[in-house]
Amino acid sequence: MSKQFLLLALMICVSSSYGQDHLLQNVYNRTTISLNGDWKYIVDPYENGYYNYRYEPFDQQPTPWASAFFLNSKPKDASDLLEYDFDKMDNLKVPGDWNTQKESLYYYEGTVWYKQSFDFDFSAEGNRLFVYFEAANYQAEVYLNGSKLGTHTGGFTPFNFEVTDIVKAQDNFLIVKIDNKRLKDGVPTLNTDWWNYGGITRDVKLVETAATFVADYFIQLDPQDTKKIKGYVQVNSKDTGAQKLQLKLPGLGIDQQLTSDQDGYAAVDLSVEDIRYWSLDDPFLYDVAIETAQETVKDQIGFRSIRTEGTQIMLNDQPVYLKGISIHEESPLRDGRGYSKEDATQLLEWAKELGCNYVRLAHYPHNEHMVRLADQMGILVWEENPVYWTISWDNESTYQNAETQLSELIARDKNRASVIIWSMANETPNVPARNVFLNKLAAYARAKDNTRLISAALEQKNYQGDPTIRTIDDPFAEVVDILSFNQYIGWYDGLPEKCKTITWKIEEDKPVLISEFGAGAKQGLHGSKEERWTEEFQENLYVETLQMIDKIDKIQGFSPWILVDFRSPRRVLPEIQDGWNRKGLISEEGEKKKAFFILQAFYNNK
């Protein structure tokens, strides 16, 4: 990524998420103070704590009334009128969604206010402090000690604000307004096939840095030359002028001094003979340390090349077949939105048990544990921006929102070897405004990261009107590096035996992935393979589909829908769905269905 592009990204980032600072890199490995735990909360469906009765936002008024919740006001005396008190309220756990914590909030979509109090002492003179949110769904307004820090839009990516000049030694109050209302012009938009979990759904941390600190870096193998490590380090410093840095990769005998330019940008360009490349069989991660005069940041980075060659996907210049599964970010260990390392470990261990070397994280960025563990476990990853079904293609702020969420995803995971594909969208209509929208997003992603492949989950259709021949007829197929599509022959389209009657005509000279196929089954429900919702029906769908897939040339892998049953408000069939999409190979109780073993056998023989 060129320096000009980095500065442009910085400007775009600041413009669309008010007040938000450049995303801190690798907070995952920094020493931080957790603000997780019990937070006080107020449910505010009328946003009475945010707007005055003229529906004007309090936080945009020169002297907001004490009734503004972000002020955390207390009655001055016994006669004072105040109609809220955070400290007398109940608690919600952070991280976590509110839907599965409080029965009364199970279907709730709207505003909930959170408050956390903390004391803080700087560990050194001149140090700086940031508050870092790993994610909060959907719109977050953040305040500290009565000052507005900023706003963040999008439920699945991190954001941070500097609070160096606002924080006090004692009794700091951090107040966050979370609104998960679905919006027509939102990303995603009004309808999805997953539960709209609301809340501060991932960790919240205080990040103390030195005055001059490592704000960002991108250190990856040069896609043009696999004997080169290229990228940059971005320092953030109050001092202007060039900064001296040390980049250390002891495993490669590298101890390189870098000098940044006036803006703190230092290019990285290292020729390295013997690199132990990160691979599925040997997911080797190098220790990396970046030192400024005042601090050291440590990371573990794997170096691998990923590219396409005709219809093949080449990992370290070797063809790779992607034996995958799609996953939603729900906890397999407790109810609700997943966020913990244990959640990620269970999901990825099930994928490994299935025989997978690849996972599609759908339809939005999952928590960072997933990609950090995939790096360690040697699992390849597809990550996706929540541009899902039919969003407002011709709305510029919707585009900016989608681009910002994508930029935050790439910013967070650009140093992860396991991540090989950025997906721009899922099942979007082939209309002109969408094509413009997705083309811009893909161009943005390529400019931001030239080391990975671009794709999207497209839709298949009849070839020249012949329903027995299927194809991809979508202009965006020209833009992607990997051609991926969802198909539900045998579930939404006929019965499983129909797979025998279908052939595929895919004209692009590109690798082809099937990003989704599947069938619903209630775990433990048994019967004939003709009976929908039985495990036998789902099993048969897999048998038929795998035979069909094996005949599609250019196919380089697939990720069936889906590893585990997941919550969806669209799935209301009594005694079968009851609010769950049942296409999982594993039930929400963790019980495997028959189809799990069909796919496992296929992968183990592949």
Interface contacts to ligand GCU, rule CB under 6 A? 193, 363, 426-427, 486, 516, 561, 581, 583
- Choice between 299 and 516, CB closer to ligand GCU: 516
Gap between the Cα atoms of 194 and 363, Å rounded: 9
Give the nearer residue to ligand GCU in terms of CB position, either 157 or 426: 426
Residue 486 or 534 with smaller CB distance to ligand GCU = 486
How far lies 195's CA from each of 191, 259, 395, in Å?
10, 48, 25
Least separation in angstroms between residue 588's CB and ligand GCU is 15
Task: Quote the least distance from Cβ 193 to ligand GCU, whole Å.
Answer: 4
> Where are any strands of DSSP class E within 489-592?
503-504, 512-516, 555-558, 566-567, 580-581
Question: How many angstroms separate the CA atoms of 447 and 432, rounded?
Answer: 23
Nearest to 561 by CA among 589, 523, 595: 595
Question: 343 is written with which tokens?
Answer: 């959640």
CB closer to ligand GCU, 113 vs 561: 561
What's the closest the beta carbon of residue 516 comes to ligand GCU, in angstroms?
Answer: 5
Q: Pick the closer one to ligand GCU by CB: 148 or 363.
A: 363
For 28, how many CA atoms within 13 A lie in the half-sphere containing its CB? 21
Written as six digits, the tokens of 461 are: 């259709």
For residues 232 and 243, what is the distance between their CA atoms, to the nearest angstrom? 13
Task: For residues 301 and 361, give the distance between their C-alpha atoms in angstroms, rounded to a whole number.
Answer: 20
Q: Of 323 and 363, which CB lies nearer to ligand GCU in the complex structure?
A: 363
CB of 389 to ligand GCU, least distance (A): 8
Closest approach of Cβ 439 to ligand GCU, in Å?
A: 21
Cβ distance to ligand GCU smaller for residue 222 or 384: 384
Residue nearest to ligand GCU as judged by C-beta position: 193
Question: In angstroms, what is the minimal distance from the CB of 194 to ligand GCU?
Answer: 7
The smaller minimum CB distance to ligand GCU, of residues 208 and 516, is found at 516
Token couple for 598: 């069909």
Whole-angstrom distance, CA of residue 103 vs CA of residue 84:
22
Q: Tell me if residue 306 falls in helix, strand or coil.
A: strand
Q: Please answer whether residues 425 and 455 qualify as being in contact, where contact means their C-beta atoms are separated by less than 8 angstroms.
A: no
Distance of closest approach, residue 581 Cβ to ligand GCU, in angstroms: 5
Element (H, E) at 12: helix 3-16
Q: Please report, for residues 180, 222, 253, 524, the alpha-carbon distance to residue 274 in angstroms, rounded to integers and kept in the order given.
A: 49, 14, 10, 52
Shortest Cβ 189–ligand GCU spacing (Å): 13
